[in-house]
Structure 1
Amino acid sequence: MNGPTLAQRLAIRGRPAGRSVMKQRWSRLLFLHWRVDPDLLRPLLPAGLHLDLHEGAAWLGVVPFLMERVRPVLLPAVPGLSWFLELNVRIYVHDDAGVPGVWFLSLDCNQPVAVELARRLFLLPYQHARMRCGGTLADTRYHCLRRGESEEAVFEYGPAGEPRTAEPGTLEFFLLERYALFSTGRNGRIYQGLVHHPPYRWAEAKCDRWSTLPVKWDGLPEPQGKPESALWVEQVDVQIFPLRAITAPPA
């Protein structure tokens, strides 16, 4: 199946119809990516979703960041609940209509309430983890240990250039400009969730230490060598829209 057109990749950045249900800020984002054999990833997808390729290549991402001011619309942020850490392992997909988005293999999080709510409300594979983050904006130190694992994933990173927006058609645009997520329920239906935020302002990342352990925790071979792409984003304010089914239940 052909992948999304450039027009579809641009259109998904528009604000979705209807009302958002949550607001949050993502900050100190590190996007690490490796090129991966598509045949390794295709069996992970349900029928109705397809790998989204850039110039014939599939990409696997490891993305640690801070979640801040997470709250339902019209309610204030709550200390102890609205600030936490998240690290996701992700691949890139599109649906039968050509809508590009993200398929999460896992999302580690150190806020137990957020883990349970995200599993139930957004049908995402959140995992309980012990996590901590320190250092400065220019030199972040980030640690993650998933429940049941014995070795800690550690990242040390910061910006290595001036922020700018991604040009359509580039690898950076393909990796960063993602405004849809897909998940599946117990009924086998595919669901789509949309987010809205300004285009990322990204810089090349200096990454003195990184880990592929989260990929191993998900049962996949760990990528070898340095990340082929390492990007940094200071922060972005995000609106979250309700999950909706895009396929009928299997017969």
Structure 2
Amino acid sequence: MTDRFNQKNISVPKGVWIIRQTWNDVLFAHWPVDPSILRDKVPSVLELDTYNGMAWISVLPFMLTDLRARFLPPIPGAHSFPELNFRTYVTYKGKPGIYFFSLDADHRLAVQGARTFFHLPYFYADMNAEKSGDIIQYASKRKDARSAKAEFSASYRPISAPFTAEKESLDYWLTERYRLYTSHHNKLYFEDIHHHPWMLKRAEAHFTINTTAEAHGIQLTHSEPLLHYAEKQDVLFWPLRRWR
């Protein structure tokens, strides 16, 4: 293993954060895939990150709340909505991060703003998230004409006591990522984020339908996914920067 997990890599980024938000009732559903399946779906400038020779893809449904810009109050009607992320793991010049294939959100203004100002592949979807006790019922159906249709429906819940992942473990490798990469007009951009280490729980989930990966030409393996749950995470975002 490299030294990518030493403490300096999760320190507060330089400069001033510009956006904050809270992620609630997060499910991490992870599947291993052969790196060759993803290579032509990720910008060539990025190196696919692997763990014991395997690449990984993850689907994350959660409820986003308290979205606001620094020094400003929440945007009326746009500070709380469901979101569904589909991502993989990459590095650039030794810095690990996340590459998003798609981010679905149930708010047209948030989708357009993220596409315009952060060059992220957000799509509008009809979504619903309901919590009863410790069980979350989650559904998403993409309505955006800019993408192939994708649908997700699942119920999930935590099944263990909370824990923080040990460095160099697969749990840590999959969840403790503090940079996202994206491309726009063949130029590479990155954005740093910061939050406390994830307080994870083991989880169980029942997937009624999940065509999120298929919409991007990726077939999920038939193996059971590795599942994590997190009740809440406050996240800060720094400005998007172009890599020159």
SS in 2 for 1:167: coil
Residues 212 and 223 in structure 1, CA contact (< 8 A), matched pair in contact too: no
Q: Distance in 2 between matches of 1:46 and 1:31?
A: 24
Partner of 2:198: 200
Alignment partner of 1:236: what SS? strand
Equivalent residue, structure 2, for 1:215:
213
Kindly provide the amino acid, as one letter, of the partner of residue 191 in structure 1.
Y
- For 1:53-202, list aligned pairs within 5 A: 53-95=50-92, 97-136=93-132, 138-147=134-143, 152-186=151-185, 188-202=186-200
Taking the aligned partners of 1:138 and 1:209, their CA distance within structure 2 comes to: 17
Aligned to 2:35: 38
Task: In structure 1, list runs of 5 or more residues that go unmatched.
Answer: none
Aligned length: 241
Deviates more, 1:43-52 or 1:56-65: 43-52
| 1:11 alignment partner in structure 2 | 8
Q: Deviations over 1:7-45 (max 9, x none)?
A: 456433110001000010011000001110100011112
Which consecutive unaligned segments of at least 5 residues does structure 2 have?
A: none
User: How far has the Cα of 1:50 moved from its partner?
Assistant: 0.5
Alignment partner, residue 237 of structure 2: 240
Deviations 1:113-154 (A, max 9, x none): 110011111111111100001123510000000116777421
Q: Secondary structure of the residue that 1:11 maps to in structure 2?
A: helix
1:211–1:12 CA distance, 2 compared to 1 (3 A):
farther
Whether the 8 Å CA contact 1:142–1:156 is kept in 2: the answer is yes
Distance 1:192 1:63, change over 3 A: same
CA distance in 2, matches of 1:79, 1:108: 20
Q: Secondary structure at the match of 1:120?
A: helix
Higher mean displacement: 29-38 or 39-48: 39-48
Tell me the CA shift for residue 210 of structure 1: 5.4
Q: Which amino acid aligns with 1:204?
A: R
Judge conservation of contact 1:9–1:99 (CA < 8 Å) in 2: no
Counterparts of 2:162 and 2:76 in 1: how far apart (Å)? Answer: 30
Q: Return the TM-score normalized by structure 2.
A: 0.93
Q: CA RMSD in A?
A: 1.7
What amino acid does structure 1 have at the position aligned with 2:12?
Answer: R
Confirm or deny: 8 A CA contact 1:193 1:242 kept in the other structure: yes
Asked if the contact 2:31–2:220 (Cα under 8 Å) also holds between the matched residues in 1, the reply is no
Secondary structure of the residue that 2:43 maps to in structure 1?
coil
Identity %: 34
1:23 equivalenced with 2:20 (yes/no): yes
- Distance in 2 of aligned mates of 1:137 and 1:119: 35
Distance 1:137 1:184, change over 3 A: farther
Indicate the SS of the match to 1:178: coil
Equivalent residue, structure 2, for 1:231: 228
